[in-house]
Amino acid sequence: MTPVEQLADVAPEPGVSKPDPILVVDDVSRAFGGLKAVDVDHLEVQRGVITALIGPNGAGKTTFFNLLTGFDQPDSGTAVFDGEIASGKSSHELARKGMVRTFQLTKALTKLSVVENMKLGATHQRGEHFFAALVSPLWNAQERDIESRADALLERFKLDHMRDEYAGTMSGGQRKLLEMARSLMADPTLVMLDEPMAGVNPALTQSLLEHVKSLRHEGITVMFVEHDMDVVRDISDWVVVMAEGQIIAEGPPDTIGSNQQVIDAYLGSHHDSALDLDAGLLDEEKP
Amino acid sequence: MLLFVSSVLLIWGPGLAVAQEGGESVGTRLRFENVDGDRIPIEGGRVTVATLDGEAVAEGLSDAEGNVEIPVPGPGTYVLTLDVETLPEGVVLRDPDRLSTETQVLEGQTGRTIFALIAGDVTLDTDEGVSFRQILQLSVEGLKLGLFLGMGAIGLSLIFGTTGLVNFSHSEMIVWGMLVAYFFNFYGFAGFLGFMANWPAPFGAGVNLAFAALFAIAGGAGLGYAMDRWIFLPLRERGVSLISQMVVTIGLSLILRYVFLFIFGGSPRFFADFTAQSAITIGIVDITPKDLITAALSIIILLGVGLLLLRTKLGKAMRAVADNRDLAESSGIDVQRVIRSVWVLGGSLAGLGGVFIGLSEQVSWNIGFRMLLLIFAAVVLGGLGTAFGALVGALVVGIGIQVSTLFIPTELKNVGALALLILVLVFRPQGILGRAERIG
Amino acid sequence: MSLAAIDWGFILTQSVTQAFDFNAVVYALAAIGLNIHFGYAGLLNFGQVGFVAMGAYGMGLSITLWQLNPFLAVVVGMIFAAIFALILGLPTLRLRSDYLAIVTIAAAEIVRLIARSTVMRPITRGAEGLNEFIGPFRDLSPFSPGQIYGIGPIEWRGSQFFAVVVGWILVALSLLLVAQLMRSPWGRVVKAIREDEDAARALGKNAYWYKLQALILGGVIGGLGGMVQALGNATVQPDFFVAPLTFFFWLVLILGGVGRVWAPVFGAVVYWFMITFIQNTGRQLVDEGLIPTSIMDTSQIDQIRFWIVGAALALLMVFRPQGFFGSREEMALDAR
């Protein structure tokens, strides 16, 4: 049974347990100046599938993402990633263990070339140690290895024509692609994408979606934050809905839109129309 | 506890000085440094020059800057001897045996040498230990220093809060205020518009320091306005990064500091009024009337600033911008106008602070750097960007510095404050009053 | 009283000599350190002079206090600078960059104040400074102290020529080191951190640790500068290490172009040539009466240096941050 098929038997309710979770979150909370931004009782993320995290503005999605990826530390609670306690670990430790994230505001390193950006993504590089860096023979072979992997990925993401350009010359969509490709250099088991479609022109959206789906084929687990319901419906296997810092609903994408609590949550913040999930491209939830 | 005032002659700058006339000479600079780190030149100190054989060659007196330069007939080794009789009272050679020093003169160059001096031994009460009276006395002096620092720290903190810029030239605004007050105290407008010489004060002559202080406030406000209007606003509009702007404030502080030196000269001076006052005793604490009044004025002014920030629309706007600039902007606050006001407020507070510091210590061109470091200690302690935190931090630093002299040598009192700065960053980087922000 | 009386030959000789003198080496080394800090790792070090002082004192004290041999003394100087970097870096490198700026400028002044304090006099010799350390180094020098060495009119006494030669060798080694590091994966990580720390962390790089390494490395190279200063001047005096010196180093770095391997050397040579030229010309103009002493006397000529440095620092930072060599294109990519 594939990981996706396993999900079929899972009940669509918040905090439900899954057959093969890669990430398990318990009682994680984070407050800013008395305001509780995140307060999640329990969440499991199924291995090998694409999980979407949606919710109205200010729901705490990005904060939750930051907590999971070690960019912020929770006030309380634990997260277990791949059988190891993840909370309290710093972001780079988690990344080395295979949890690699991207950012809503793309972080392509504009003053490095595209291929250097890619090479940066590889972990366990010998030449990254200070003294080893001084002796080229220690890392030359590995460097060539990394470079060929980078070239292969660039080709797959159709960025090979920009290989030696500064990343700063790329368009917004190309940067998103680069960031995704770069995260694959780290051999991740879980990729966390923070609004991968934000600011990408429609022509590139489809290709981006295909790349996300291809990750699942390779057995990489994907979790992403998104506002666009169409995107969510198209590519995700499971949807988690957050509102006011809490998980209010979970379920397969085709049923989640009819969940009354979800509708209420969105109505609560957008009075104009039900489920206008597009509305939230402005990121106001960053405290 | 012995309070040493070590005094030294310094060779400024590396390498050998090049003689001015192309001929050979010997030279030295007579100055001593007081506990606050101000180098005070000695004028009229006599130095005699002799050959190694003891044959007298020449002699010279130090000028107002403490410089002595005496031409010698040619290259060779000469013996310089300091005439201790010509030194100011209380200043003596640290090692009485080193009355004379040798110096080698190379062709076309000036041979320089050093005389090390002690400006007398000032003895504090050693046998009674630390008394409550001492602590109280030092706390009051520290409170005074803290209040003056606070006037600078609030401005620095507000500018940081609203623009994100750490202004390394902030302390030069303090010195600026001090010098403006000095200028009006002695010369009035006639100082730069000569034709007014016969007009009444403040046009033709100096005014009482109390009025000169008003000019200092105006001068500080003007400098703050000018710096924002013609330097930092254009930089913000050009999109120059904060780090680059910070380097610009460094450059600005160097220019200002040495323009002050150029105009004012190197020797510390005193205001014309309220200088020599004897202390009065209140309870068990001794305090001079001028310190009492300036401290009281600082409290009133700082309370006023507090009210301004808490109650007025402008003050609320300042805090709003400091708190969350984007949010403030989107709620209709004219951010650039608020930033301008913050610069003007910061400049005028710094200017007045300068007058108070000049009155309490002395008027000097290079007091700024020490003040800057203490203000940094204060704002980091209080939490960068919070006005009230800066004030609390300044008081803690001021009192801490003075009381610490009971336990550590006076010459290291500022070191204590700076070490505290580093300790705060280790244990509570958001400062005493700062909110825990998300870092790292 | 005329321009003809000005000795241009003398001025030029002086300027060229200074441009390659050990002072230029001191500035170059300090700026190479700053380049690692600011140019590559993006660290705001406003107290480089403190690292320079630590190097000089570490070396000097090793001999005056502990009677070590000169080579060990150099190592101890480097360790001093490294420890200083640890003390400053450990608490601040997790915080925003302005904290490091504030702490470094304060700490550099702490070093100077402590070194010149009476309490430390038994160790540091207070304001007079150390000078007995020079003997063992003089013994190492292949040049005889009294003799004149040089090319044409540019000449040094043997005692200083040793510092000049040792200094430029150290500069060359430091440049090789920087060039090698910056083409290695280590350099790639450091440059990535400069641009976006979060991006580097998301890719598994321990940004804090790399920044600490960069701070130590740049500080140690600055410390070497302090040692060259000690050799050249045959003394280590606390009041050499005043705060403005750091900003002379900054100007040297910016002159050459931040983030370029060669920049500090170029900047140091240009800086010393220009300053010496301007000051000597100014002095002669005053002596010839072409600048009335009512406007400026010779002691004030020396202050011009600070005006020039201040103005150049501010203007270059705004209008030509890429320095003489840098390309506009690269700066345009800078997401300012």
Return the pLDDT at B195. Answer: 62
Mutation target among A68, A81, A89, A91 for the C interface, most CBs of C within 10 A: A91
What is the number of other CB atoms lying within 10 angstroms of the CB of residue B391? 25
Q: Which residue, A283, A229, A212, A248, is CA-closest to A62?
A: A283
Transcribe B156-179 into DSSP letters. Answer: HHHHHHHH----TTHHHHHHHHHH
Bigger pLDDT: C298 vs B346: B346
Distance from CA of B376 to the nearest CA of C (A): 7
Return the pLDDT at B6. Answer: 34
Query: Are residues A209 and A138 located together in one domain of the fold?
Result: no
Return the pLDDT at B77. Answer: 79
* C-alpha to C-alpha distances, C136 to A103, B214, C59, C158, C230, nearest whole angstrom: 58, 61, 12, 15, 13
Domain segments of chain B as ranges: 2-12+24-123, 132-427
B247 contacts in C (CB within 8 Å)? Answer: 250, 254, 313-314, 317
Strands A50-54 and A99-101: unpaired
Mutation target among C203, C220, C328, C330 for the A interface, most CBs of A within 10 A: C203
Query: Are residues A84 and A140 located together in one domain of the fold?
Result: no
C335 contacts in A (CB within 8 Å)? Answer: 110, 168
Distance from CA of B437 to the nearest CA of C (A): 10
Bigger pLDDT: B93 vs A48: A48
A73 contacts in C (CB within 8 Å)? Answer: none
Answer whether residue A285 shows pLDDT above 60: no
Return the pLDDT at C31. Answer: 94
Please give the average per-residue pLDDT across A146-166, as a whole number: 90
Q: Supply the range of the domain harboring residue A152.
A: 111-169
Return the pLDDT at B439. Answer: 34
Return the pLDDT at C209. Answer: 94
The number of CA neighbours under 13 Å toward the Cβ of B158 is 33
Q: What pLDDT, in 10s, does the model give residues B355-365?
A: 999 988 888 88
A120–C213 CB contact, under 8 Å = no
C187 contacts in A (CB within 8 Å)? Answer: 133
Strand partners, C157: C148
A69 contacts in C (CB within 8 Å)? Answer: 202
Minimal Cβ distance to C203: which of A100, A110, A111? A100
Chains in contact with chain B (at least 3 beta-carbon pairs closer than 8 A): C
Bigger pLDDT: B51 vs C61: C61
User: Residue A23 falls within a domain, yes or no?
Assistant: yes
What is the C-alpha separation between A73 and A150, in angstroms, rounded?
Answer: 32
- pLDDT band at residue B274 using 50, 70 and 90 as cut-offs: confident
* Residue A224 DSSP SS3: strand
Query: Are residues A165 and A176 located together in one domain of the fold?
Result: no
Mutation target among A66, A103, A107 for the C interface, most CBs of C within 10 A: A107
* C-alpha to C-alpha distances, B218 to A261, B156, B349, C218, C306, nearest whole angstrom: 61, 18, 10, 44, 27
What is the C-alpha separation between C95 and C92, in angstroms, rounded?
Answer: 5
- pLDDT band at residue B39 using 50, 70 and 90 as cut-offs: low
According to CATH, the topology of domain B2-12+24-123 is Immunoglobulin-like (2.60.40)
Bigger pLDDT: A48 vs B273: A48
A134–C207 CB contact, under 8 Å = no
How far does Cα A126 stand from its chain's mean position?
Answer: 27
CB B68 within 8 A of CB B27: yes
Please give the average per-residue pLDDT across A67-93, as a whole number: 87
Query: Are residues A101 and A135 located together in one domain of the fold?
Result: no
Query: Are residues A229 and A100 located together in one domain of the fold?
Result: yes
C128–B8 CB contact, under 8 Å = yes
Predicted TM-score of the model (pTM): 0.80
Please give the average per-residue pLDDT across A201-209, as a whole number: 83
What is the C-alpha separation between A277 and A83, in angstroms, rounded?
Answer: 34
- B50 in contact with chain C, both atoms CB, cutoff 8 A: no
H or E element that contains B74: none
User: Residue A209 falls within a domain, yes or no?
Assistant: yes
Considering only CA atoms, give the Rg of chain B: 25
- B230 in contact with chain C, both atoms CB, cutoff 8 A: no
Q: What is the CATH number of the domain that holds A198?
A: 3.40.50.300
- B411 in contact with chain C, both atoms CB, cutoff 8 A: yes
Distance from CA of C116 to the nearest CA of B (A): 9
Return the pLDDT at B28. Answer: 85
Mutation target among C98, C194, C211, C233 for the B interface, most CBs of B within 10 A: C98
CB C313 within 8 A of CB C250: yes
What is the C-alpha separation between C93 and B424, in angstroms, rounded?
Answer: 14
CB B144 within 8 A of CB B403: no
Q: What share of chain A is helix, strand, coil (3-state, %, to 5)?
A: 40, 20, 35
> Structural domains in chain C?
3-333 (1.10.3470)
B116 contacts in C (CB within 8 Å)? Answer: 127-128
Nearest Cα residue in chain C from A94 = C204
Minimal Cβ distance to A95: which of C189, C202, C335? C202
C203–A186 CB contact, under 8 Å = yes
Query: Are residues A77 and A164 located together in one domain of the fold?
Result: no
- B257 in contact with chain C, both atoms CB, cutoff 8 A: yes
What is the C-alpha separation between C132 and C194, in angstroms, rounded?
Answer: 42
C196 contacts in A (CB within 8 Å)? Answer: 107, 109
Query: Are residues A160 and A42 located together in one domain of the fold?
Result: no
Query: Are residues A223 and A190 located together in one domain of the fold?
Result: yes
Return the pLDDT at B218. Answer: 95
CB B79 within 8 A of CB B104: no
Q: Which of A125, A143, A169 is the last residue of a domain?
A: A169
Distance from CA of A245 to the nearest CA of C (A): 23
- B37 in contact with chain C, both atoms CB, cutoff 8 A: yes
User: Residue A231 falls within a domain, yes or no?
Assistant: yes
* Three-state helix/strand/coil letters over chain C: CCHHHCCHHHHHHHHHHHHHCHHHHHHHHHHHHHHHHHHHCCCCCCCHHHHHHHHHHHHHHHHHCCCCCHHHHHHHHHHHHHHHHHHHHHHHCCCCHHHHHHHHHHHHHHHHHHHCCCCCHHHHCHHHCECCCHHHHHHHCCCCCCCEEEECCEEEEHHHHHHHHHHHHHHHHHHHHHHHHHCCHHHHHHHHHHHCHHHHHHCCCCHHHHHHHHHHHHHHHHHHHHHHHHHHHCCECHHHCCCHHHHHHHHHHHHHCCCCCCHHHHHHHHHHHHHHHHHHHHHHHHHCCCCCCCCCCHHHHHHHHHHHHHHHHHHHHHHCCCCCCCCHHHHHHCCC
Structure tokens at C234: 């045959």
Query: Are residues A80 and A202 located together in one domain of the fold?
Result: yes
Q: Which residues make Cβ contacts (< 8 Å) with residue C316, sequence separation at least 6?
A: C251, C254, C255, C323
Return the pLDDT at A107. Answer: 86
Chains B and C: how many Cβ contacts under 8 Å? 174
CB C273 within 8 A of CB C18: yes
- pLDDT band at residue A223 using 50, 70 and 90 as cut-offs: very high
Query: Are residues A201 and A219 located together in one domain of the fold?
Result: yes
Structure tokens at C33: 């350190």
Q: Which residues make Cβ contacts (< 8 Å) with residue C184, sequence separation at least 6?
A: A127, A133, A134, A136, A139
What is chain A's mean pLDDT, rounded? 83
What is the C-alpha separation between C170 and C174, in angstroms, rounded?
Answer: 6
Chain B, residues 66-85, CB within 8 A of chain C, namely: 67
Nearest Cα residue in chain A from C259 = A111
What is the C-alpha separation between B172 and B178, in angstroms, rounded?
Answer: 10
Return the pLDDT at A36. Answer: 83
Q: How many structural domains are present in chain A?
A: 2
Class of domain B132-427: mainly alpha
A95–C189 CB contact, under 8 Å = no
| ipTM entry | 0.84
Answer whether residue B91 shows pLDDT above 80: no
Please give the average per-residue pLDDT across A68-84, as a whole number: 88
Nearest Cα residue in chain C from A106 = C199
Return the pLDDT at A6. Answer: 79
CB B397 within 8 A of CB B374: yes
Q: What pLDDT, in 10s, does the model give residues B286-330?
A: 888 888 888 999 999 999 999 998 899 998 898 888 878 888 888
What is the C-alpha separation between B78 and C222, in angstroms, rounded?
Answer: 36
H or E element that contains A46: strand A35-46
Mutation target among C184, C260, C336 for the A interface, most CBs of A within 10 A: C184
Residues of chain C with pLDDT under 70: 1-3, 324-336
* Residue A24 DSSP SS3: strand
Mutation target among B247, B253, B380, B413 for the C interface, most CBs of C within 10 A: B247
Bigger pLDDT: C179 vs B50: C179
* C-alpha to C-alpha distances, B137 to A19, B186, B415, nearest whole angstrom: 73, 33, 21
Mutation target among A112, A120, A165, A175 for the C interface, most CBs of C within 10 A: A120
Please give the average per-residue pLDDT across B84-90, as a whole number: 75
Going across the sheet that includes B25-29, the strands are B67-71, B25-29, B110-112
Interfacial residues of A (vs C; Cβ cutoff 8 Å): 69, 71, 90-93, 95-96, 100-103, 107-112, 116, 119-121, 123, 125-130, 132-134, 136, 139, 143, 166, 168-169, 182-183, 185-186
What is the number of other CB atoms lying within 10 angstroms of the CB of residue C86? 14
CB A120 within 8 A of CB C200: yes
Strand partners, A241: A54, A249
Q: What pLDDT, in 10s, does the model give residues B190-224?
A: 666 656 666 666 666 677 888 888 999 999 999 99
C97 contacts in B (CB within 8 Å)? Answer: 243
User: Residue A285 falls within a domain, yes or no?
Assistant: no
Answer whether residue A266 shows pLDDT above 80: no
Q: Which residues make Cβ contacts (< 8 Å) with residue A277, sequence separation at least 6?
A: A54, A227, A228, A229, A232, A266
Q: Which residue, A199, C332, A168, is CA-closest to B239?
A: C332
B6 contacts in C (CB within 8 Å)? Answer: 116, 118, 126-127
C180 contacts in A (CB within 8 Å)? Answer: 133-134, 136
Minimal Cβ distance to C119: which of B15, B238, B409? B409
- B17 in contact with chain C, both atoms CB, cutoff 8 A: no
Query: Are residues A76 and A200 located together in one domain of the fold?
Result: yes
Minimal Cβ distance to C203: which of A110, A130, A182? A182
Answer whether residue B127 shows pLDDT above 50: no
What is the C-alpha separation between B359 and A158, in angstroms, rounded?
Answer: 71
Distance from CA of C195 to the nearest CA of A (A): 6
User: Residue A115 falls within a domain, yes or no?
Assistant: yes
Query: Are residues A34 and A89 located together in one domain of the fold?
Result: yes
What is the C-alpha separation between C137 and C77, in angstroms, rounded?
Answer: 14
Strand partners, B229: none
Minimal Cβ distance to A127: which of C185, C195, C202? C185
Q: What pLDDT, in 10s, does the model give residues C211-237?
A: 999 999 999 999 999 999 999 888 899
Return the pLDDT at B179. Answer: 93
- B439 in contact with chain C, both atoms CB, cutoff 8 A: yes
Nearest Cα residue in chain B from C297 = B262
Answer whether residue B13 shows pLDDT above 70: no
What is the C-alpha separation between C92 and C88, in angstroms, rounded?
Answer: 7
Minimal Cβ distance to C201: which of A91, A139, A166? A91
